[in-house]
Structures are given as structure tokens and as C-alpha cells.
A = this chain, B = another copy of it.
Amino acid sequence: MDAVNPEHSPSALTHLRQDGSAQMVDVSGKTETTREATATATVRTTVEVLGLLGSGGLPKGDALAVARVAGIMAAKKTPELIPLCHPLPLSKVTVDFELGTDSVAILATVKTRGVTGVEMEALTAASVAALSVYDMIKAVDKHAVLTDIKVLAKSGGKSGDWTL
């Protein structure tokens, strides 16, 4: 029943109670399982910037390493950033970059053995890695855009595994 188990209701914002007030929902009854999520983000910039970031698929200097570390550390900060997120013991975080002609695609994967999913952690890792890329290229291309930030796949939770 939706009324009984609002967490799986397709038609309500579960972080808000009946009266509209926000809460960190009770997950103490949920089962601890191994959960994984993958999210992506894209930084659209210029051919010139891509030339500065790498060539032949290989990164130049520390730029991508800085963004990778930023993303990994941000995954750990997710419950500090997203007010209603539960703290989780992350057991793996990877952040990868694919250099295109005029864009950088970022892929973040997060794993936990916990009671809630880790899609917010994966999205936060991808977003902050993308923000860090922007920070490094903004002197050359202040009009770069962060786009297509979304969850690509999720597994291990009650709601079933899925891949985009």
C-alpha cells in the first residue's frame, strides 16, 4: 500500500511528510545489501580546450587527476551537501574521463554495503568532477556548459536493477 509504504509510492515526494515538511526518512528497517550506481556528466567546451587537456586520448599534466580526486572526495561529502541524504560507508569510488572533440564525458561509479542506494553519491562525484574541470578551463572558455548529468545504472536495491 502506498499509504503504508510511502518509500515505493510512485506518486509522492517521500522526503516530505503529509504536512509538506522535510525529513530524513527512516531507513532503519531496510536490509543492508551491496549496492552500486553509475552516473555521468558532460562538459561541453571548445576544440582548443580539448587540445590543452590532452592529446591522443592521453591527459596532459594534472588536470584530469585533480578533477578525479575532486569527484572521489565529493562522493564522500554527499551527506554534507544533500540535506536529506543518509550517511553511507562507501566501499568503492571511481571517476573516469573520456575526451571527445570538444567535450569531456565523466563517468562516476560508487559502491556501498548499506541500506540505501548510492545514486546521489555517483551524481555528486560526476557533478563536482565536472565543476573542477570547468574551474581549470574557465580562463580559456568561460562559456563551457555542464550538461547531461544523470544516473546511468543502479543495482542492488529493492527497486530492482536497471541500466539506461
Contact = CB atoms under 8 A, between A and B. Distances in A.
A107 to B, nearest CB: 12
Oligomeric state, in number of copies? 6
A17 B52 CA distance: 13
B21 A135 contact: no
Contact of A23 (B17, B94, B119, B147): B94
Contact of A24 (B52, B72, B79): B72
Name A's interface SS: mixed
Interface of A: 7-17, 19-28, 34, 41, 48, 52-53, 60-63, 65-66, 68-70, 72-77, 79-94, 96, 111-115, 119-120, 123-124, 127-128, 130-132, 134-140, 142-151, 154, 162, 164
